[in-house]
Structure 1
Amino acid sequence: MPKKSSLYKISPSLSVGFVLMPSFTLLPFSAFIDALRLAADEGDQSQQINCRWTLMGPNLDAISSSSGVQIKPWESYRNPVEFDYIVVVGGLLQKTLHGSQHVIDYLQQANRAHVPIIGLCTGSFAMIRAGLMHQRRCCVSWFHYKDLAEHYHDVIPVAEQLFVDDGDRITCAGGAVAADLAGYIIERHLGQSWARKSLRILQMDSPRPANAPQPQPASDYQVKNKSVARALLLLEQNLSRPLSTDEIADRLNISKRQLERLFIAETGDSLQKFYRKIRLNYGLWLLQNTQRLITDIAQETGFSDTAHFSRAFRAAFDKKPTQCRE
């Protein structure tokens, strides 16, 4: 069972310690902490009764967010056993990958104390740096999916849903999703009524579940069905090694037949035909915006060889790849 702080006169039902990476993103931090604030008391007085939180650092020097707004820690690092969760907030990726070794050390201390750790935005990368995500499922924004997949082969990246609860490791895509995750945590410790009270004041009807799909990356593919939206994310995240329809159906936990029926209803194409369109459009973009060899582009878009790519490309665009580059 999570231990409570001996410093508290009244033991809260939920206690959270926040740590910030350099150039952290403000929205996930403020969304999570404001949800806690609104669940902390009966009204809107910000009294830390039902749940309590603090912001820690190695000292009280201000930490700059990605937007330049600075926030000062309230105190130096406290013993992690005093919290139910340690929340690490990431932001600009390069800063998270290389900055604030003291945060990494503290996350390792929390791990040794068996305190659950939550990563918001690229906070998951800080958890990876701390060696806490080996063979773990790790939620990441679709925007940083390739960064994670290419650099960390011992982590299982998940970018088709909002957040992932992997026991004592919880990771979140970031942005406004942090409020949904906070609602999930509040409901676990305080009950559904407190989570609903908090999120409704934040103008949210109800928390989105963990497996709700992330908003799609900027593209022309707008669909209404959630399963098809998640399938599209999987297609876009697996261009160089195309997934079979069976694999996609298994990941979405629906039947292959149902997936095909939904996909045709939403797009007018079979899944694999649509998949090929996405891969070829990506190939066209690479031809027009990079100097990569056509052989490399064929591999990047999941074709067995250059000849196969060229035939499919010409059938789709009525031009050879070399002509599009010219």
Structure 2
Amino acid sequence: MNRDDISVRMGFVLLPQFTMGAFAAFADLLGLLDAQTDTAGPCAWEVVADTLIPVRSASGIQVVPTDLLGDPLRFDYVVLVGGPLAPAAEAGPALAAWLRQAARGGRHLVGLCNAVYPLARAGVLAGHRLCVGGDQYRDFTDRFPAIAPERIVTERPAVFDRRRITCAGGAAVTDVAARILRRHLPEADVRRALRCLQFEAGGAPSGQIQPPPPGIPADSPPAVRRAALVIEQYAGQIPGLDDLAGRLGLSARQLQRLFRQHLDTTPQAYARGVRLRQAAWMLRHTDKTIAAIASDCGFADAAHMGRAFRAIHGMAPGAWRRANEKNTV
């Protein structure tokens, strides 16, 4: 194949315990476009790694890399495919150096699922907005405290910010792949490939919302789901009602009415419940003092948290911690 015939080149890096579905969603779309495209050059892609040892996915299926990392500038896009959970270990220094080389060369860096972690560790997300799964937000901010919270997006499944693209995973991966490929191939070709995959063409990842937190019905209005995601994300510094409503383009009264209608509670009460759930988790799983937990969870002080905690659990935080010590992991 003549290199001049290639419209876009992609290098995939599969992280340990990567999500096979995310990789397959991207690769299937590339393969279909390669087979069906008549009016533009094909897509070229390969799986690269620092060794040719098979990489095991979260499902147990292994994929053998097709080449070593080599020169990242041979790719237009470097796509890291991670797994569904926060990684147990960070990527090694060789991959981090390779990613920095790609960034210096102006290449697009794409992080799927938890691949946002090695991108952050390599220092290639500085100054960019990025997408983190809502259930990984606290772990991510603990690991990367230098990344400003306002740059971390949890209420949307994908974020495109210049040459950095991050995606929380799921069905949004196909949207992300399609949006990238539309930059290089005719719209009609991309739509035809999406139809072959039985995927609704034209979705925009930036306009979707991540799955709602537990307890929020999936059919709740978008404003309610977004508000709940923001509250979960900023549990320790939840915005005031007016600020929260303003982010959603609503008045405080409108947001209050939506919460009462669909959740039978108020935004303030929902936020208090989030703080208390977080406090209970920290009491059980950390050795932080009660005062430190109260501060982390957005309470005025330990006494404030204690009153709210007793109202729900029927005992003081210290007593609750002792009663649950045997369940600590």
- TM-score, structure 1 normalization: 0.83
The share of aligned pairs that are identical, in percent, is 36
Look up the match of 1:41.
35
| Cα distance in structure 2, aligned partners of 1:189 and 1:260 | 45
| Cα distance in structure 1, aligned partners of 2:245 and 2:56 | 43
- Structure 1 contact 96–122 (Cα < 8 Å) conserved: no
**Equivalent position to 1:52, from 10, 32, 44:** 44
Task: For 1:74-89, list aligned pairs within 5 A.
Answer: 74-89=66-81
How much does 1:59 deviate?
4.2
How much does 1:304 deviate?
0.4
- Structure 1 contact 57–77 (Cα < 8 Å) conserved: yes
**Equivalent position to 2:225, from 226, 229, 235:** 229
| Cα distance in structure 1, aligned partners of 2:271 and 2:86 | 29
Partner SS state of residue 23, structure 1: coil
Residues 161-217 of structure 1 show CA distances to partners (whole Å, capped at 9, x for unaligned) of 101111011111123321121122122322433333333332322334224111124
Look up the match of 1:4.
none
Look up the match of 2:291.
295
Task: For 1:160-175, list aligned pairs within 5 A.
Answer: 160-175=155-170
Q: Please tell me whether residue 63 in structure 1 is matched to residue 58 in structure 2.
A: no
| Cα distance in structure 1, aligned partners of 2:123 and 2:290 | 38
How much does 1:322 deviate?
5.6
Residues 7-44 of structure 1 show CA distances to partners (whole Å, capped at 9, x for unaligned) of 7345233221112223323221111111222222328x
Look up the match of 1:3.
none
- Structure 2 contact 158–166 (Cα < 8 Å) conserved: yes
Partner SS state of residue 204, structure 1: coil
Equivalenced residues, count: 314
How much does 1:85 deviate?
1.0
Q: Please tell me whether residue 11 in structure 1 is matched to residue 25 in structure 2.
A: no
How much does 1:268 deviate?
2.8
| Cα distance in structure 2, aligned partners of 1:197 and 1:258 | 42
How much does 1:315 deviate?
4.3
Residues 203-235 of structure 1 show CA distances to partners (whole Å, capped at 9, x for unaligned) of 322334224111124x22225212211211111
- Structure 1 contact 212–226 (Cα < 8 Å) conserved: no
- Structure 2 contact 235–297 (Cα < 8 Å) conserved: yes
How much does 1:135 deviate?
3.0
Structure 2: segments with no counterpart, 5+ residues: 324-329
- Structure 2 contact 86–139 (Cα < 8 Å) conserved: no
Q: Which amino acid aligns with 1:55?
A: V
Q: Which amino acid aligns with 1:42?
A: Q
- Structure 1 contact 21–96 (Cα < 8 Å) conserved: no
- Structure 2 contact 172–205 (Cα < 8 Å) conserved: no
Task: Pick closer, same or farther for the CA change 1:28–1:318 going to 2, 3 Å.
Answer: same
Look up the match of 1:158.
153
Residues 91-133 of structure 1 show CA distances to partners (whole Å, capped at 9, x for unaligned) of 3644551x34322222112112111111111221111122111
**Equivalent position to 1:309, from 305, 308, 329:** 305
Look up the match of 1:265.
261
Look up the match of 1:110.
102
| Cα distance in structure 1, aligned partners of 2:163 and 2:77 | 9
Look up the match of 1:280.
276
Q: Which amino acid aligns with 2:106?
A: H
Q: Please tell me whether residue 204 in structure 1 is matched to residue 199 in structure 2.
A: yes
Look up the match of 1:28.
22
Q: Which amino acid aligns with 1:111?
A: A
Judge which range, 189-198 or 15-24, deviates more: 189-198
Task: Pick closer, same or farther for the CA change 1:287–1:101 going to 2, 3 Å.
Answer: closer
Partner SS state of residue 279, structure 1: helix
- Structure 2 contact 36–193 (Cα < 8 Å) conserved: no
Q: Which amino acid aligns with 2:110?
A: I
How much does 1:62 deviate?
2.1
Q: Which amino acid aligns with 2:197?
A: L
How much does 1:300 deviate?
3.6
| Cα distance in structure 1, aligned partners of 2:171 and 2:161 | 20
Q: CA RMSD in A?
A: 2.9
- Structure 2 contact 291–302 (Cα < 8 Å) conserved: yes
Q: Which amino acid aligns with 1:53?
A: W
| Cα distance in structure 2, aligned partners of 1:63 and 1:167 | 30
| Cα distance in structure 2, aligned partners of 1:267 and 1:85 | 43
